[in-house]
Structure formats: structure tokens, C-alpha cells
Amino acid sequence: MDLNYNSMADLLSVADQNGGRLSSLVLSQQAEQMELSEAEIYEKMRENYQVMASSIAPGCNPELKSTSGLTGGDAFKMQTFSTSGHSLTGPMISGALYRALAVSELNASMGRIVAAPTAGSCGIVPAAVLTLQEERKLSEKECVMSLFTASAIGMVIANNASLAGAQGGCQAECGSASAMAAAALVELCGGSPAMIDSAVAIALKNVLGLVCDPVAGLVEIPCIKRNASGVAGAFVAAELALAGIKSAIPADEVIWAMKKVGDVMPAALKETAEGGLAATPTGRKLFEKVFGEK
């Protein structure tokens, strides 16, 4: 099977030709490459999914505080609002928002998470898949399999652009995670390979140029709330694609554009905490609160 991770077009073309889900092809290819059975590879991914699922409850603890003391407790607030009956967006989106916050806040408090694809963007993929599982009553197997599709998208982005905020800005972290989550959502809803391509493209286009400007150099402000925004963006991209709306620019070209944008982005906006929100008066005060005056 000629399955590689050099382009979205090639990857999805193979899936289309084989008439199956991308996840099944990825599972089969990974088993072959790693010289393990498909059952063993699946079990490794299932363990990852279980870690994702187990991070929600502790992340929603109202007493949770990050090591720095700057963040914590917002997932609990969002969960409370989500279940209050007053949510603007309903249980699907508000449920995804609190789960994204929960995983990200747990990460900031040194809890156990799955970097998907990075720690800074760890809340987006789990929030998308876990929320859809609950709302659509999906099986664990379907959800675990969707992570193979998400991972394949991440590999294409890594091979052609970057997953690191220090190299490409937050578009490379939360943007990539949003694209991965959108692909997983489309597969879980029975979408075609062409729909996955559009969903990935739309998710990335919507955050093209997003900078990485962590306050005090910590993966907390604004990273945690960008995880919430990223999962909302994944649902938007997936919904549009599932409706048959195509991206005018194919995913491979959007990934190329993301790489070019990241290359010209100033160093002050790539995880150095020297620009953007980190350079605001409040951002500097928060730095001093954590580390003392420079």
C-alpha cells in the first residue's frame, strides 16, 4: 500500500481508491511499518484515548490551579454553564469548550495529558472527539480509530510545515490541532476523503497567521483559551465540509501557506514572550507576579 504522509492529496487519494476510511489504512500501514499486529497498534492508540478521557474530570476540579497560579477553574465554570440550560451554543459546542479548557488547565497544573500534537494544543482533539462521542453515543472503537486519521493529518503538516509554536507560531500548534480534530469529526460523521481535505483546509485558513505570544513564557495565557477557540473552529470546519462546502484552496496549499507565513513571522511572535499579549502592560505585570521584576 503506497500510503505516505507527504501530502494530503496523496493520502486521501489512497483512501478514496481503497473505498475505506483513512483510519483503517493508517492503522494497517503503521502495523506493517512497526512490525506489530493491528491489534497491538490499536491498543496503543486506545490507551492514548483513555488518557484523554481521564483528563476531563480532574481538569474540571474547581480548586485546580496551575503551578504558576495564573490559571485554573475556568473549565469548571464552563462546565457549569454548559449544563445550566443557558448556553448560547448548546451542549455540543459548550461541551467541547469545557473539555478543551479542562485538558489545557490540567496540563498547566502538570497533570497527565496527551500532546495532540503538542502540550500547548492538547485540549482540542480530545475535546472534539469526546464531545461527539457523548452527544452522538458513538462507540469507543469509532473514536479511537478517528485518532489515526487525526494523527495522519498531523504528520502531513509536520512534514510540510511545522507543529511547533517556536517555529511557526500558534497557527502551527492550535491551528494544526484544530485541523486534526476537524478531520476526526468528519470521519466520525461518515464524511468522504474530499470532505476531510476541505475541513483541514478551512480549519487552518481560519487561524492563518495566529501568533504564539505566551504571557510570562508559560503555556497558559492565552494558550488555554485558544484551545477552546481551536475546538470550536474544528466543529465549524467539519460542519461546513459535511454540508458539501469545499475549500477554494486545497489543504496542501493551505499548509504551504502556513509554512510561508511562519517563516516570515517575527521571532517576537514565536514563543519568545517578547511580543503580542506577552508584551502588554498586563502581560508584563503577570510576568512579574510569577518571576519577580526583571
pLDDT for res 1: 58
pLDDT for res 223: 98
C-alpha–C-alpha distance, residues 213 and 179, integer Å: 21
Which backbone phi and psi does 223 adopt, to 5 degrees? -55, -40
Within 8 A by CB and 6+ apart from 169, the residues are 209, 210, 211, 212, 261, 262, 265, 269, 270
Q: What average pLDDT does the segment 201-228 reach?
A: 98
pLDDT for res 17: 87
Residues 96-138: pLDDT tens digits?
999 999 999 999 999 999 999 999 999 999 999 999 999 999 9
Q: What average pLDDT does the segment 84-99 reach?
A: 97
Encoded amino acid at 210, one letter: L
Residue 20 has pLDDT above 80, yes or no: no
Scan for cell 493508517, then name that residue: 26
C-alpha–C-alpha distance, residues 287 and 271, integer Å: 14
Encoded amino acid at 113, one letter: I
C-alpha–C-alpha distance, residues 223 and 261, integer Å: 20
In the CATH hierarchy, which fold is given to the domain comprising 8-291? 2-methylcitrate dehydratase PrpD (1.10.4100)
Q: What average pLDDT does the segment 135-160 reach?
A: 98
pLDDT for res 106: 98
Q: Nearest CA to 267 among 279, 256, 257? A: 279
Scan for cell 510545515, then name that residue: 161
Q: Nearest CA to 116 among 156, 162, 163? A: 163
pLDDT for res 100: 98
pLDDT for res 21: 87
Residue 294 has pLDDT above 70, yes or no: no
Is this model's pTM higher than 0.95 or not? yes
CB atoms within 10 A of CB 190: 9
Percent of the chain with pLDDT over 70: 99
pLDDT for res 18: 83
List the domain boundaries for the chain. Answer: 8-291
DSSP state of 191: -
Question: Minimum mean pLDDT among 2-16, 160-174, 236-250: which range?
Answer: 2-16
Nearest 5°: the CA angle 106, 176, 47 is 50
Within 8 A by CB and 6+ apart from 43, the residues are none
pLDDT for res 84: 96
pLDDT for res 3: 82
